[in-house]
Structures are given as structure tokens and as C-alpha cells.
Amino acid sequence: MSIGTLQFVVNKPRGPLGWWILLPILGLSSAALWWAAVGTQLSVSGLVAGLPWIGDFIGRMLPPNFAFMQKLVRPAVETVQIALWGTLLGVVLALPVCFFAARNLSPYAWVFHGLRQVLNVMRGINEIILALIFVAAVGLGPFAGVLAIAIHGAGMLGKFFAEAIEEIDEGPLDALRAAGAGTLQRIVFGVLPQVLPTWIGVVLYRFETNIRVSTVLGMVGAGGIGFELISSMKLFAYEDTAACVIVILVLVLAADLLSSKLRAMIR
């Protein structure tokens, strides 16, 4: 097909229908979106009608109660501490598992598939839900938050670690095998040098995510600044809420900046 001097260079979709395949795709996706819109009561008028209320809410938050920030230092520090240990424990849990959860290193197919499922389950449960479970187990406080982040994070890290291992160049591993190197040596000299930069990047990204997560863990009593946030809202002290939001934003932005700087350094 040509338009003037331009030529439209796109392959006709494979299959007997050719371009007509677009018709059912378009129909089905529109139907799915409509169905979901009805289900979620999507409505522009609702949003427009609600706008003044959002304005009202923001109005009550102003001016932020900067004096309240003094009381937020300790919970903010706790938030970082939860993220630190949550990330570290996640790494510790994921490390021994990831080699067996990588298709190219796993000794048996069933080990690989089984471990991937275990990681899926760990990753599938949201941190807040895990936190509720751990609060019931070890009581209110930051330790429950650490455990929640560690479990969910281990599922995430284990999968990413394993995927990094699956993407390595296997040539050096052949060379190590041909030289008679043992399993430990193959991992230390063949696998780790290839995956370490990716792994460090993943861990830093995970730490950044965990800072964000641990700012809300307090809502279910698992420590950190979220507890102050939710109680200020329950007391209708919206100026205090604003102070919490500002501190959370600073934390998240700082973590983001730090991790992207560090990730740029290891490339």
C-alpha cells in the first residue's frame, strides 16, 4: 500500500483472516473494557461532583502542621529501618533458592517448577496482608513489618535473581566445566560475575519499593510512619496528616534518588 511517495511497510497478520483479525480483537477488548467500567462504576460526572470535596480536604490540610514533624522523626527513622532489614532478610531468603529456581542451573525440572510456584505464592500475597498475619503472630510493631516485607520481597527477589541467572552467557560455564571446575567454582566464577550487577540493581530497586511499602505498614499496626498518618486522619487532624504526607514524600524521593544514583554507579 502506498500513500504518495510513502509506503506502508507492515506485514499482513499471519493466519487465514488477514487484517480482518483486528475486528474481533477490537470487539472483544471494547466489550471487556465496558464490562469493567460498569463494574467499577466509572463515571466522569461522579469525579466532577467530587472535585469540590477533594478541594475541601486539601483545604483542611493547609497549612501543614510543621511543628508536628518533630514527632515524626522517630517513626520516619523506623520506616527506613523496617525497609533495610526487610530487604536484607528478603535477600538472605532468596539467595539460596534462586540457583535452583533458574531453569539452566536447576538439577531437575520438578525442582525448578516447584520453587517457582513457591516464589509465586510468596510474591502473590500483598505486604499488608502478610503484615496482618505477622502482627497476629509476633504482636504489634515494626518487627511484623520487617517479616512481611521480607517474605514478599524474597518471592520477588528470588524470581528476579533466577531470571538474571537464566540470561547469562553459558559459554564461560562450558569453559569452567571443560577445565574440571566443581559446582561451587562454576557458580562463583561463572555465574556470579555475570549476574552481580543485575542483582545489585534489583536489590536497590527493591529497597526503594520497600521504603514506599513500609510507609503504609503502620496502618495495620506493623510499625513505621503509616501509624501516625492513619491516626491523624481518624482524629480529623488534617494539618498533621499533611505533615505526614510531606515526610513520606521526602523519604520516597530520597530513596528513589539514592538507588538510581547507586545503580548508575555499578554499570
Partner 1 sequence: MIEIRGLAKSYGDHQALSGVNLSIRPGEFVVVLGPSGAGKSTLLRCINRLIEPSAGDILVDGASLSSNRRDLRLLRRNVAMIFQQHNLVKRLSVLKNVLVGRMADLSPLLSSLQLFPEADVKIALHCLEQVAMVHKARNRADALSGGEQQRVGIARALAQQPKFMLADEPVASLDPKTSRTVLTYLKKSCKDSNIAVLCNLHQIDYALEFGERIIGLSGGAIVYDGAPSGVSGDVIRSIYPGLDDPNVLDAAQRLTERRRAAGEATMTPVASEGRA
> Which residues of the chain form contacts with partner 1 (CB under 8 A)?
169, 171-172, 174-185, 188-190, 193-194, 196-197
Q: Compare residues 27 and 197 and give the one whose CB is closer to partner 1.
A: 197
Contact, 251 vs 80, CB < 8 A? yes
Q: Compare residues 51 and 178 and give the one whose CB is closer to partner 1.
A: 178
**What is the distance in angstroms between the CA of the first residue and the CA of the last residue of the chain?**
44
Encode 87-124: b = buried (16+ Cβ within 10 Å), e = exposed.
bbbbbebbeebbbbbbeebbeeeeebeebbeebeebbe
Q: Least distance to partner 1 from the beta carbon of 163, Å? A: 19
Q: Compare residues 56 and 174 and give the one whose CB is closer to partner 1.
A: 174
Q: Compare residues 46 and 180 and give the one whose CB is closer to partner 1.
A: 180
Q: Least distance to partner 1 from the beta carbon of 54, Å? A: 51
Q: Least distance to partner 1 from the beta carbon of 197, Å? A: 8
Q: Least distance to partner 1 from the beta carbon of 94, Å? A: 20
Give the three cell numbers for residue 221.
499496626
Q: Which of 138, 136, 130 is nearest to 154 (CA)?
A: 130
Q: Least distance to partner 1 from the beta carbon of 192, Å? A: 9
Encode 179-190: b = buried (16+ Cβ within 10 Å), e = exposed.
eebeeeebbebb
Residues with Cβ < 8 Å from 167, sequence gap 6 or more? 198
Q: Compare residues 26 and 266 and give the one whose CB is closer to partner 1.
A: 266
